[in-house]
Every structure is written in C-alpha cells, then in structure tokens.
Structure 1
C-alpha cells in the first residue's frame, strides 16, 4: 500500500509523524472529540469534517468513549497538483488554517463518507498502470465535494481580521496573473503597503506556507502554458516572463518543473509506439 494514501478509523492516529507530508480529512460519525491546532482548541461532533494539511501539528487529542471517526490522508503536494493554482483551494486553504472544522449536513456527510470508502477500496491497487491517475480522480471528487460546504461556511464568515485581510489581498493580486513578471516578495509587500517581513510572517502564520510558495503556485501554470505553445521560442518566453537571462529562466524551470524547459517541451510531445 502506498504511503501517499492512508485510511483509518483511529482518531488518535491522525497526528502520527508519518502523516506529516499529507493533508488529513477526518469525518466525525458519532460522539465528540477535541484537539488543539495552531494554538486553538477545536471541538467536533457528528457530521463535523476536519481538514488539516500536515496534521502532525495537531496536539492534545481527546475523544469521548462513543467517538467514531473515519479519515483519509493523501500526500499534500499530490493533492495540490490536482487543482488549478487559482482554484478555490488556495483561498480555501487560508480559511482552513484559521478554522479546520466544517459542519456538514447528513447528506453532505454521507457523500463524503462514500468518497472515503471509494478511496479506501482502491488504495491497494498500486499494481495498476494508471494507479496514481485513478487515485487522483477519486481525490479530486472528494475535494470538490468538500469545497461546496466549505464555500458555504466561508460565505457566512464575517471575520475581518487585519491579517486575514492582508492574505486575501495578496491572493487577489496573484489571481490577476501578475506573477508572470513579478516574483519577488518585496513587490507584493510594496503593493500592500506593508514590509516584506510583515507580509512573510503574516502569510506564514495564517496559511502555514510562505509568500514565495504562493507566488510560484500561480507562476508555474503560466510557465507551462507558454511552454505548451510551440509558436514561442524559449527566449521569447523568458522575455515575456521578464527573466534576466535565458540561463535564469532555465534554472527556474528546472527548480519548479523538475526538468529543463526543452525537456519539459519534449515531454509534451506524443509518445511514439
């Protein structure tokens, strides 16, 4: 069984060290429990869903004797790569770091539990040629089933904290595609009228991730789109994205795509039999 996907009914196993690279999705089926996350205590009851990236940050787990839960955890980067960078997932991850508990209706809980069971039942099929694609499609279904109640919750959230406002403004800036040419934290700090340190500390505290990671998450899809356009030379793409040199552009591709721009282009070509 792949360690990228794990399923369990053990509430006290949700913050195990081996899950530190995953995103945890835990559904309370009965009873009640509590835990501490980001220095805040949360209480859950039946039909409450908990979504926490890197769940080893959870502390002080406590459950009543009648507690029943099921959870599914998947590699965090694997899940992130399934979604477009400008998807609700980015804004959603911010609010989940602020409050990881989403209350579901009976119908929403039943749908999500069915998602868990489909994933559980296919986890051991790693011998299949398209195993990761199969699991990816099932994970994507689960995430979209979570987005609906999550978006409903956030629509009624009146939280106006200054730090949350700064992070949301950053995400709005990035959603315009400005990272095509602006990839420095200092640029965004200036646009938001705060210091680079304040912006970095705030984003890290609210989301658990760095400003740079969000900049790159928005930039990589732009980069891939350009590389997929055969009408553009590598030099033209480097100029469009305002890289100082072709070598700088190549290093960025190697770091964020895992291969050189020319190799990435080659990988897009149909495989010959």
Structure 2
C-alpha cells in the first residue's frame, strides 16, 4: 500500500500560490491540479476550492465525488485527497489556510470547528448554482486584490477578515443544501461519523481508543478496524492527530508556556507532553515552536 504523502504548506505554496501570506494563507487563480492527481495526500491546510470548468473525480477519505463547474471542495488537514480522471479543460480556484492563520488573535482556538462543513464526517463536495457561486467568486477576487497590495500595513488582517466572511458564506450554502447532499450512510460510515464527532469534543480529556469504543458500544478492535477501513487511518491515529493539531496551534502562541499547554491538553506534566509530542512529530514542543515561528 502506498504511503499517504503529507503535502506541506510551503510545497503547496510553491506549486500553486499566486499570492500568499507567509506559509499560512494563499489563494490561486484558475489552476489545473495535475501535480496532485497521482497519489492521495493530506494537506497541512484547510481548502475551499471551486471548480470553474471541466470535470474530474475527487476522492476524499476513500469516497468518490464528481467535480464539475461550480462544485465546491471543502477539505481539512484530516482528509485524504486525490483528484484524478480530470478532463483536459478542468480548472479550479481555491484558498488554502492554516488553522493558526485563522485563529491568531482569536481566543477560541477551535473557531473553525464551529463550521459543520469542516468536520471530518461532513460531506466534502457540494454543488452550487450560479446564484450562490457568484458571491463566493467575488470574495475570491477581493482576497486576491488584497494580497496584491503588498505595501498595505493591514494586508494580513484584512485578508483574515475576508476569509472569515468567505467561511460564513460557504456555511450558508452548505446548510441550505445539507438535506439534498446528505448521503445514505452504511453502518460503518455511521460509526465513523459518530467517532469523529466524539473525538473532536473529547480528545483533550481522552486519548485512548478504549474510551471511545465504550462510549460507542463497540469493542476497541471493531472500532479500530472500522475506522481504518473507512478513513485509511486507525482510531488511535485520529485521536493523536486531533491532540497534536491543538498542541501546534497553542505552541505558535508565545503567551502560553509549554507547561501551560501541557495542562490545557490534560497531560499530567510538561515532561509527558513533551515525550508524546516528540513521538508524534519528531520535534520537541520547543523545537516546533522555534520552527513554526521562524
């Protein structure tokens, strides 16, 4: 089985960005995605993409969707993506951003989780009509023009606020279509959805599969095998990813010491948090903080 690649944000910027804010936020003009079509990958960023021409197949967490004009892709760092069978004229434009960019100066580090379409169990591809696509594409243009004003002292702040407006516009479209796009789920998919929702509400307090299995009235073995089959990752890996993502966001904020972050994520002490974080990322919390803040 091929190893799923991690598409780093700097690599993503190199491939596609027309204008960016550091390595945390960028927007593209209409682009072909052929560079990303061969293998499945995970992005470090959240993605909002709109297909503007042509067709393709989009595979998200092993489920396949049709991309066509005005189809919108909504992906998180927890999604495994693959785009293939693209028509020669397939084009799309998209914004990509990190959680840290969106939540910098926001006291709620899980602001992005308030948007249901960015839950890992939500439908990642929706189909817009011309009326709903138009204001979204206009926002893309506003963001692009803002990023072009490289000498503007508040370019980053304005871009962040325009991104927030875009998120709410997408939320309105997603909620209107939710009944239409809701899939008939298999029992395994239903269990995965319940598990994903539970993880993102309990991962600070509970990091063992046993807890989630008991809460969902299944055995740990059945839960792990089912989640692996549906998503390509084990239940334990999903839990670890949720914990590490929160730790990374907090480590970028120098107002918090490593000891405070360990307490916030319910580790017994700084040492155990440090060992856990290094096992997952290959870096100590302090090393990651230095690297992330460049």
TM-score > 0.5 by shorter chain: yes
Is the partner of 2:176 in helix, strand or coil? helix
- Structure-2 change in CA distance of 1:196 and 1:121 (3 Å): farther
Give, in whole Å, the separation in 2 of the partners of 1:10 and 1:217: 32
Q: Distance in 2 between matches of 1:87 and 1:217?
A: 19
The structure showing larger relative contact order (alpha-carbon pairs under 8 Å, at least 6 residues apart) is 1
- Specify the alignment match of 1:270 in structure 2: none
2:26 matched to 1:5? yes
Residues 60-100 of structure 1: per-residue CA shift (max 9 Å, x gap): 2125x5x6x4412314555675752642347643223xxx3
Quickly say closer, same or farther: Cα 1:250–1:171, change in 2 above 3 A. same
Normalising by the residue count of structure 2, what TM-score does the alignment of the two structures yield?
0.61
Query: Which residue number corresponds to residue 47 of structure 1?
Result: 70
Choose from 82, 88, 94 the match for 1:57: 82
The count of residues paired between Structure 1 and Structure 2 equals 249
Cα distance, 1:219–1:26 mapped onto 2, change above 3 Å: closer
1:120 is aligned to 2:133 = no
RMSD: 4.7
Q: Name the structure 2 match of 1:154.
A: 178
Aligned with residue 132 of structure 2, among 84, 108, 126 = 108
TM norm structure 1: 0.65
User: Tell me, which stretches of 5 or more residues in structure 1 are unaligned?
Assistant: 264-273
Distance 1:126 1:201 in 2: 49
1:191 to 215, 238, 243: 215
Structure 1 position 245, deviation (Å): 3.7
8 Å CA contact 2:47, 2:95 repeated in 1:
yes
**Structure with max Cα Rg:** 1
Pairing of 1:1-273 with structure 2 (within 5 A): 1-2=19-20, 4-13=25-34, 15=36, 21=43, 22-29=45-52, 32-38=54-60, 41-53=64-76, 57-63=82-88, 69-78=91-100, 81=103, 83-84=110-111, 86-89=113-116, 92-96=119-123, 100-126=124-150, 128=152, 130-156=154-180, 157-174=182-199, 176=201, 178-196=202-220, 198-200=222-224, 202-203=226-227, 206=230, 210-213=237-240, 215-216=242-243, 238=263, 243-249=267-273
User: 1:23: Cα distance to partner?
Assistant: 4.1
**Mind listing any 5+ residue stretches in structure 2 that lack a counterpart?**
1-18, 105-109, 290-294
Q: By how many angstroms is 1:147 displaced?
A: 2.0
In the aligned structure 1, how far is the partner of 2:270 from the partner of 2:96? Answer: 36
Distance 1:175 1:70, change over 3 A: closer
Displacement of 1:59 in angstroms is 1.8
